[in-house]
Structure 1
């Protein structure tokens, strides 16, 4: 028995129990090692004329024996000498593949595609195996060698037999562990089943460049006997057939010109379990200091759980065709969380278990490029397929707006031109750029109104007042709209203004003078109305912009009326209120009625009418009336 080097027992225990979080990845690691061994032989054949290697014969085999509880991963690659066995498997965390990769770095990605880097993947086998036996014969040697260990203290190396060069890794799979004290048990039988192994290969190693083969059981109809009667019932028999489990050639490595839209669609539906074809497919390859392939998809419909707390964003991350992470969240920003796809790069620095990434510059560089590519492709859809883009925006536009808000406006330069809003004047969805292009030259700001529906917003007093002056208003109906605009503050050097926010700067000097005179002349009335409303409003004022309506609500400060309404339904934000202002139309007949009541000293009528106007303005703004019963009674009194 030879002892493991480098504090064997502690380090091996770390390898088995701490580094890897998912037992089933052991098969991925063993297949990756087998692929490396085949790659090394293939490379030797390409660089040494004396070595004859048939590409068609290179393969990886998987076999299992459920009764003996053994699983074997075999390859016909370069094999290992006794010295290499000692070096690679006797020293934990030593990587022969890494040494080979560094020595032949100039050929990586061309003639050689080495996957392994850390020399610990092999030891993941002990997560599921009570014993591991490695039978290997180096290319060009006549003698095979056998390495064997139970993963505890050490290992043995002896001479053995193997018919040809290559390596067999034979795992004795652990017995199932029953549950204890209410805790679930551990089942290992899936690693000794045809369906379980096929699933693992397809999930993690489907695009390894060499065929992964396994004898699978199939059924076929027996030939009908010549003397069979009319009542003969077909009989079936089981047989075994060597089947290639992986597809080998990843679709993202192919030129987009060589792949049909139908092939992309079928790949998307099969890989991401969607019934519908994607709305958009984005395929690109990056070269230079950092090389990678990316295949991205924009779904046609919103995933059912997109806005749930359980939704996980991220792109599948592959390294040299081997899946490392099913969802790498770092590769896609939150505002593009709906994007599905794959990124494959051999250059990304992985951590020792390959299951998570080091947060390094390579990862950030890929993520930045992916984000820009998605934005660019969406802009292309917006400009060249507007109908499709409007359908996309209906599904996912909310996330783009949230991206601006959650970044405190830092993402507005990247996302603002992708937003669409309903134009009250044009009667259709427009971009901010299109809104600006259609604006009169004298327009000083970009106006919007936020509420529940475009129909209701179109009839709001402040909206009709802005439209009456020839300016457009964007009608915004999503809860994030007002927050998004406040984070943006400006677009194309023009301020974004909520029409219910006051200070719209729409009035002419004549309008402003008339409002100031009306406020001065009716100071006592305004004061009485404010007293009647108490702290419901911060002030009552004469509006210089209202045209038809007798009154309207606006707000002072950063919290708009729509924000108040949105936050009212959120835990911990119930008490947040806007600073409400009741604005009056001095040219409306009701204002004259109020003036008459004030002159007559009818404080009761002023209070009653003020309350009616305030509640009426609340309803128009989409806010709840504080006392619906009292409001209904007041209206009834007027009708008598």
Structure 2
């Protein structure tokens, strides 16, 4: 048969341009596509060979062979798979604009123009689609192929100029060889030199390490000859040596049965695959078959990365389809509160786009993600119940993620709160240990109607708060919120098991016992008796406070500062201020202890004249003292120091 030249249809050049420049965003994946096609061809031969042994031609040593050649500026990818007939060559790779592919690409073009996604997973891995990624790096592509069981081979060639040629040729063995004559940009120096064996090896490791057939390549070395003792012979000329290497590991760890994998193998794989230094805290290995098939190998790292909660941290799982690497950071599988998870998912059922690069928010993806999330949370709940020490170790590293997840649920909706509320731990005033909300509520006395909490940077500060006095004396347990996100999470929860959360520095404590009621009535009585005095204290402080009250919660301390029940707390105000967002202000209420000596001293100064400098300075000093107790610096520390020095000098 003489060489035939075939013209593509008129729009083919435009379609090919779309394939190369619009679908693929990363040119190095061309090798992944061609290797995947070679693997598919071997799969087809293996399947047919199950019922027709003659088609194997006595050769069942399946392999993919790569030959980079710097001198000819070529890279060849060969397989001993099923091969193609003349008609199959024309149909599969010769007619890019055949009706099905053409219609698909037209839809793809329209979708891209309107920023939509179009997928057709059945086209992935077939000639005519991924094959054309070769033209991203090649000036010319030559295909030599012989169908298994037939004697005639064919050569297909194109420069993507709108035409291709096909002719008969000789090929000793079945299979297909694709030779890329590389463009100059991809046959020079550096990472984009695809004639460099080490560059090719790197790409195979990155994208095709788990292809099930060996991917082989020769490496050339120059070495000095050695004597019988293995020592280099001095003065001898170097000789060239060829070493055949298998570039891929072939069998992914995650495809093996869990019972056959040792803990050390899991640990080593995790450290190698995800560049970790320590063994993971926990491994999750799941294989699911049914409507959607997938295997997941996930892990909780030993420690949180330093930038886990910073914007430059990229969460996400590695994604594989039929053991072929698709993407490194798939953020759509797990919710953001599980951003600390490392691992991978391998599924043949994912809805990939035509380039095998991008992933849609597909039904399959969401189904897998929900199952993974459920499995992880179930495991954490089990750990909390059965291995408290291990769970607390996890919590100290990653608990903040779960609390952020609770807070973010107010924006994302869904049932996140119900999923996470029983996994939360907080430091407690009871022995200073971590406690779950369930544990707290189960040991609440029957008379206690609220869950009390306090906020500060450390336990010691909370324990010294004047607001703690009454609760401590009554033996009421208080949760210590030591991280800024804690209070935001609590505010989002609002209640647990029907019991509302209540800050000890916000509004009235709401204690219902007889003693508390008596103290409250006494405070109200003293407030009424000293109404003018209290109003003048408030006036002396100007707009610094929203109100001044006689306290029903203080015992030994002279003063405390609390926030109004309805607005932000004092700690929230500080958090917003630290984020350069001073708009959220707490309504500050100054509470005075009527049984403290300073209360009477302040009344004496008031009796001498509400406009006197001493009265105003005492009011300001008490307010500043309350600020300092809350860990809030006064606006003018120098002025405060001078007033204090003046008072001490009297």
Q: Same fold (TM over 0.5)?
A: yes
Does the CA-based 8 Å contact 1:79-1:166 persist in structure 2?
Answer: yes
Does the CA-based 8 Å contact 1:536-1:580 persist in structure 2?
Answer: yes
1:125 aligns with one of 130, 134, 138: 134
**1:606, distance to aligned residue in structure 2 (A):** 3.0
Corresponding residue SS for 2:380: helix
State the partner residue of 1:568: 577
**1:512, distance to aligned residue in structure 2 (A):** 1.9
State the partner residue of 1:206: 209
Does the CA-based 8 Å contact 2:511-2:517 persist in structure 1?
Answer: no
Corresponding residue SS for 2:541: helix
1:194 paired with 2:197, answer: yes
How large is the RMSD of aligned CA atoms in angstroms? 2.6
Does the CA-based 8 Å contact 2:407-2:489 persist in structure 1?
Answer: yes
State the partner residue of 2:529: 521
**1:201, distance to aligned residue in structure 2 (A):** 0.5
How do 1:125-144 and structure 2 match up within 5 A? 125-144=134-153
**1:385, distance to aligned residue in structure 2 (A):** 2.9
Corresponding residue SS for 1:515: helix
1:436 paired with 2:445, answer: no
State the partner residue of 2:431: 426
Number of residue pairs aligned between Structure 1 and Structure 2: 617
State the partner residue of 2:484: 479
Corresponding residue SS for 2:510: coil
State the partner residue of 2:404: 402
Does the CA-based 8 Å contact 1:568-1:574 persist in structure 2?
Answer: yes
Q: 1:598 to 1:188 in 2, by over 3 A?
A: closer
Does the CA-based 8 Å contact 1:6-1:91 persist in structure 2?
Answer: no
Distance between the aligned counterparts of 1:452 and 1:5, measured in 2? 71
State the partner residue of 2:388: 386
Distance between the aligned counterparts of 1:463 and 1:518, measured in 2? 22
State the partner residue of 2:117: none
1:18 paired with 2:27, answer: no
Does the CA-based 8 Å contact 1:115-1:320 persist in structure 2?
Answer: no
Distance between the aligned counterparts of 2:634 and 2:290, measured in 1? 63
Distance between the aligned counterparts of 1:531 and 1:226, measured in 2? 99
**1:32, distance to aligned residue in structure 2 (A):** 0.4
Instruction: Could you tell me which runs of 5 or more consecutive residues in structure 2 were left unpaired when the two chains were aligned.
Output: 102-121
Q: Which moved more, 1:628-637 or 1:408-417?
A: 408-417
Q: 1:95 to 1:574 in 2, by over 3 A?
A: farther
Q: 1:537 to 1:173 in 2, by over 3 A?
A: same
1:494 paired with 2:499, answer: yes
Distance between the aligned counterparts of 2:643 and 2:225, measured in 1? 89
Q: TM-score, length-normalised on structure 1?
A: 0.91
Corresponding residue SS for 1:35: helix
State the partner residue of 1:302: 304
**1:637, distance to aligned residue in structure 2 (A):** 2.1
2:227 aligns with one of 201, 209, 224: 224
Q: 1:227 to 1:541 in 2, by over 3 A?
A: closer
How do 1:226-625 and structure 2 match up within 5 A? 238-408=240-410, 410-506=415-511, 508-556=516-564, 557-571=566-580, 573-604=581-612, 605-625=614-634
**1:378, distance to aligned residue in structure 2 (A):** 2.0
Kindly report structure 1 stretches of 4+ aligned residues shifted beyond 6 Å: 93-97, 185-188, 226-229, 231-236
Does the CA-based 8 Å contact 1:194-1:216 persist in structure 2?
Answer: yes
Q: 1:510 to 1:355 in 2, by over 3 A?
A: same
**1:302, distance to aligned residue in structure 2 (A):** 1.8
Q: Which moved more, 1:369-378 or 1:234-243?
A: 234-243
2:91 aligns with one of 75, 87, 92: 87
State the partner residue of 1:145: 154
Q: TM-score, length-normalised on structure 2?
A: 0.90
Distance between the aligned counterparts of 1:548 and 1:541, measured in 2? 16
Corresponding residue SS for 1:157: strand
Instruction: Could you tell me which runs of 5 or more consecutive residues in structure 1 were left unpaired when the two chains were aligned.
Output: 98-112, 179-184
**1:61, distance to aligned residue in structure 2 (A):** 0.8
